[in-house]
Chains A and B, each alone.
Chain A
């Protein structure tokens, strides 16, 4: 008998993770495309004010990477759904895997993608400044920079990454549910928009509660804990759901 190869889960997860970074490289091309598009949209500024007197006219434009961050979050949500689809899921089963290692390596991949997404989103504000320097007739440019406020800058990257990752975890969860039953593809959006409609009627405050819980946390530590707990719950429930899923071609 050929001796059986014994494998450890952590080794397989590591190998799968490395493999996915290469095999899923296309998702980063779409990231760049989306961010460039977002920068283009941002060039109008997100807000402006102006005042003028007889001899002086002043315009103040606010520019921010908010649109870029939003697009990056959307991207993360979509690629997370994408990697739960049959084509990607079955990719894993060509080589050594089980469902746990497949899910863990996916989570690691999404985390990596979020870091890349978060960093590039914040960096895009510099690209915007450069573009404006050359193409917009502005007299004075100001903004946070790594030199002026390094902590603020790092915090920006960090929290952006967290939001992007959270959306990835959510997308992964949604995608997994849809893989289990296609009815979720209708049910989940219905619930999502339904919640907004209910919110609009004023009978319940579900959306704003969730929003406040996640997006208005002022303590960075509490914020991290919240993100980790929510993402952890989303991934572990996805893992439980998918653990009995079969590979079909």
Chain B
């Protein structure tokens, strides 16, 4: 079953299109990374999935229902983001109790254990927390609610490295114990990629790439060597990134359509073939030009 199906989903703010004919399907019970640059439309997409916003045109189905103003979607989806409005009159423990009443699958024990582990205390109030502590508290809500669809929008904002690590581990352990669909948007792809099963890369409000994260490393390849030789190898190929190194040397990233035999010949020709890390690849893919920032200075 697909948890989310989008068909030509478009969201316009005034004249600008945050989402532009976005179409994709997400299968259930996977951890999916939503990757894109700032302004690519990640948050808009998550808000539409959560039913906070209504699409301008196109269709979206979440848990087989239209999400906007939908009580079933609201009960089965939790959207964690760094602008959450938590009541100021309640202390942290009371907020957890309130959440427990709203979410049927809420795990009280997990919530309390995480609460203690991260050294929160009951009498604290939300507005007194630091940015990182707020994010940590949101994470407790997101994990303990055990919703069929959990959306984390930049969940680690402000967290220090140790807490981020704890968060990823807690997320994974809870996912293994209670499989469900989790979408995480993050700038730190290198930190989360091991947790992910699929990756959904969006650029300018469109789906750019949707594939298992394991395939991402083989999706592209970097070639380095004498510019003339590299050019010869990369002509008629889908070039993703180019960079010249030193005199007469260049590094070019292309779609990996090479066979094992091609690799051997390339090596013999003096081209060094290197895999491209997922996070570098995503940066290259979402960049406006194939040269990146260097193009500005050329």
Contact = CB atoms under 8 A, between A and B. Distances in A.
Interface of A: 1-2, 4-7, 9, 12, 15, 18-19, 22-26, 87, 90-91, 93-101, 243-244, 246-249
A243 B69 contact: yes
B23 interface: no
Contacts of B75: 5-7, 12, 96
A22 B81 contact: no
Contacts of B74: 7, 96-98
B38 to A, nearest CB: 16
Contact of A2 (B52, B54, B85, B178): B178
Given A26-B89, A98-B70, 20 more contacts: A1-B29, A2-B148, A4-B148, A5-B72, A5-B105, A7-B72, A19-B98, A22-B89, A22-B90, A23-B90, A23-B98, A25-B89, A93-B52, A95-B98, A96-B74, A97-B71, A98-B71, A246-B54, A249-B83, A249-B85
Contacts of A94: 84-86, 99
Nearest to A247: B52
Nearest to B74: A96
Contacts, number: 94
A6 B76 CA distance: 9
A1 B148 contact: yes
A69 to B, nearest CB: 27
A249 B54 contact: no
B53 A247 contact: yes
Contacts of A18: 101
Given A23-B87, A246-B52, A247-B52, A6 B148 contact: no
Contacts of A26: 89
A93 B74 CA distance: 8
Contact of B89 (A6, A24, A95, A100): A24
A243 B51 CA distance: 12
Given A6-B72, A95-B102, A96-B71, A249 B90 contact: no
Nearest to B141: A94
The majority secondary structure among interface residues of chain B is loop
A11 B65 CA distance: 20
Interface string B4-16: 0000000000000
B1 interface: yes
The majority secondary structure among interface residues of chain A is loop
B41 to A, nearest CB: 15
7 contacts: A4-B76, A5-B72, A9-B71, A23-B98, A94-B99, A95-B98, A96-B103
A24 B98 CA distance: 13
Contacts of B70: 98
Interface in B82-96: 83-87, 89-90, 94
Interface string B96-121: 00110111110000000000000000
A156 B273 CA distance: 88
Contacts of A101: 71
B63 interface: yes
Contacts of B101: 15, 18-19
Given A98-B74, A246-B53, A247-B47, A91 B85 contact: yes
A15 B102 contact: yes
A9 B28 CA distance: 26
B180 interface: yes
A46 B103 CA distance: 53
A96 B102 contact: yes
